[in-house]
Structure 1
Amino acid sequence: MPARPLALLAATALSAAVVGLAATPASALEFLRGDWTVTIGARGAAVPVFEGSDEMRFRPLPIFSVRRAGTRSTWKAPDDGLRLGLLQHDRLRIGVSGGFRGARDEDQSNDLRGLGDVEWAGEIGVFAEIWASDVLRLSVDVRRGFNGHDGVLADLGVDWVARPEPAWTLSVGPRVRLASDDYMDTYFGVTPVQSARSGLPVYDPDAGLRSIGLLGSAQVALTQSWTAMGYARYDRLMGDVADAPLVRFRGSRDQFGAGIGLSYSFDVSPFGPRS
């Protein structure tokens, strides 16, 4: 997918949300009043040292989500990232999403030698998810990066979610990831200077398909507030990412990940009771 449609989608959705809240501050405050259910936690994950690497490392990751108290309990996939649900109607939920990408330093791996450092990156955007049935969820998340990269990312997922026991939730489903030129250049491009230092050929990737994959997870409600989870993931790098010299000569198209985590849910009323 070209970079322009991704950028326009993210910019339009974010602008609409910001303008709407700014134009009606009283309505926005009233909307925020009342009880909200907040879920926080942490998980430890085994992930590639860098995207495209064939080496693994341990990484701590946050768990966070917010929904209106009393609304349908929203199942959260391990790769949903940071999400704040602002609008919910029946089976549709829309809100703001965020992500964080750690810095990529040359000294993290010999495979990165000569490519220079990439600073940490924050990502902010919008998401939408809809339950097509009681067991099938469709999700899309579009984010724009800042600091480390200025690219636009789009993640699409389908999850089949089963609850064989009241306390247990099992899921499995495919994933598709897209990225713009800026993201591709930052993490997979090789400039003439980097080529001279690293020995890799010059490479200028285009926007498009980044990877396809499969994610499976298991969650168990330990109490009404505490939930434990575990998951495993496989991604196959595609298109210009798979053809990148960093992946072809120093990494792998096959990307694996796994993790376990623990979260806690509670109700709060940060803006007072609803009138």
Structure 2
Amino acid sequence: MLRTATALIALIAAMPALAQTAADPTLPNPNDQSDTFTIAAGGALVPDYEGSNDYEFTPFGAIRGRVSGMSFFSRGTYLYLDVVRRPTSGIDFDAGPIVGVRRERINHTKDDFVDALPNRKTAFEVGGFAGVTFHGLTNPYDALSIRLDVVHDIGNAHESTIVTPNIDFGTPLSKRTYIGASLSADFVSNRYADYYYGISPAEGFIAGLPADNPHGGMKNWKLSTLINQSITGDLTHGLSIFGAGSYSRIVGSIADSPIVDDRGSRSQWQAALGLAYTF
């Protein structure tokens, strides 16, 4: 139900672009594969840890681009490289490597009870993604992507695998305005659940929290939105301002962990605002 609702909302919002595409012959070639690079920076309001009801402000940066037909982009602390070149028409297949880090509860947390639990190590995760993208559903410039991400911690942190299915839709509403929406979910192992959300009897005694041994499965689902507005040019070059927001819901055994159910919240919000420049 959520997947269907998200796609419908995005498709309805994209409808104004149809008339502009037909009326403006100066629009760029939707199959243009020339090199491009975008760099972005801003600030975000995020949970203190995944499952917290305390929030903190943090700076962030992001990049995306295309070189010799191969695309790359960052999502949070992860970098993706799509090694499959987009065809001039038809369905676009996507595949490539992912590298990134997970920095959950590695330092001080605002909640004194959670802070009394042992800190966690930074997880160094590598893996890959594969999917398919459909172009031109509502106008020549939109894209609907279905993708599966799989990463594994190769360091000495949770030492397990995370599987994340994604559905993304994005479209320009004009030469200066772009909107996007995505829906995703994370599936984790018992080892991951125990590492980040488990509490041993000894740890619980010190922290004043009940012991808990959560199991893996679906950890959460997330709905995200993005709007990008050009300031000095159009969406293909120049300075722009963007805003993004997301809501995620922690579910299953992990949602019952005391650091979520007692000391935090199953509902997680994020908001970001920043500037981007496209070369």
Fold shared, TM-score > 0.5 on shorter chain: yes
CA distance in 1, matches of 2:221, 2:227: 21
Name the counterpart of 2:178: 169
CA distance in 1, matches of 2:54, 2:67: 41
1:139 aligns to 2:147 (yes or no): yes
Match of 1:201 among 204, 210, 216: 210
CA distance in 2, matches of 1:72, 1:118: 35
CA distance in 1, matches of 2:163, 2:119: 24
Structure 1 counterpart of 2:134, which letter?
Answer: A
CA distance in 1, matches of 2:41, 2:101: 14
TM-score, structure 2 as length reference? 0.73
Q: 1:143 to 1:43 in 2, by over 3 A?
A: farther
Instruction: Flag the structure with higher helix content.
Output: 1
C-alpha contact (below 8 Å) 2:226/2:244 kept by paired residues: yes
Structure 2 counterpart of 1:131, which letter?
Answer: T
C-alpha contact (below 8 Å) 2:62/2:76 kept by paired residues: no
CA distance in 2, matches of 1:55, 1:217: 23
Name the counterpart of 1:81: 78
Name the counterpart of 1:6: none
- Cα deviation for residue 77 of structure 1 reads 8.3
Aligned to 2:108, the other structure's residue is in SS state helix
- In the alignment, structure 2 segments of 5+ residues that lack a partner are 1-33, 137-142
1:108-127 deviation digits (Å, cap 9, x = unpaired): 22141331111222222112
Match of 1:246 among 259, 263, 271: 259
Name the counterpart of 1:117: 119
CA distance in 1, matches of 2:98, 2:195: 22
C-alpha contact (below 8 Å) 1:66/1:84 kept by paired residues: no
Name the counterpart of 2:193: 184
Name the counterpart of 2:139: none
Q: 1:157 to 1:80 in 2, by over 3 A?
A: farther
Aligned to 2:132, the other structure's residue is in SS state strand
1:55-99 deviation digits (Å, cap 9, x = unpaired): 100122331345333x4878x686593112222343122111122
CA distance in 1, matches of 2:132, 2:117: 41
CA distance in 1, matches of 2:117, 2:77: 30
Q: 1:43 to 1:96 in 2, by over 3 A?
A: farther
C-alpha contact (below 8 Å) 2:105/2:120 kept by paired residues: yes
CA distance in 1, matches of 2:51, 2:120: 15
- Cα deviation for residue 183 of structure 1 reads 1.7
Structure 1 counterpart of 2:133, which letter?
Answer: W
- In the alignment, structure 1 segments of 5+ residues that lack a partner are 1-34, 267-275
Name the counterpart of 1:42: 41
Q: Work out which structure has the larger RCO, using CA pairs closer than 8 Å and 6 or more positions apart in sequence.
A: 1
> In terms of mean alpha carbon deviation, does 235-244 or 37-46 score higher?
37-46
Aligned to 2:52, the other structure's residue is in SS state coil
Equivalent pairs: percent with the same residue?
A: 27
CA distance in 1, matches of 2:116, 2:152: 27
C-alpha contact (below 8 Å) 2:168/2:181 kept by paired residues: yes
CA distance in 1, matches of 2:61, 2:157: 20
RMSD: 2.6
Displaced runs of 4 or more, over 4 A: 35-38, 76-80
- Cα deviation for residue 180 of structure 1 reads 1.7
Q: 1:228 to 1:151 in 2, by over 3 A?
A: farther
The number of equivalent residue pairs is 230
Alignment of 1:8-87 (within 5 A): 37-69=36-68, 71=69, 81-87=78-84
Aligned to 1:165, the other structure's residue is in SS state coil
Q: 1:190 to 1:73 in 2, by over 3 A?
A: closer
TM-score, structure 1 as length reference? 0.74
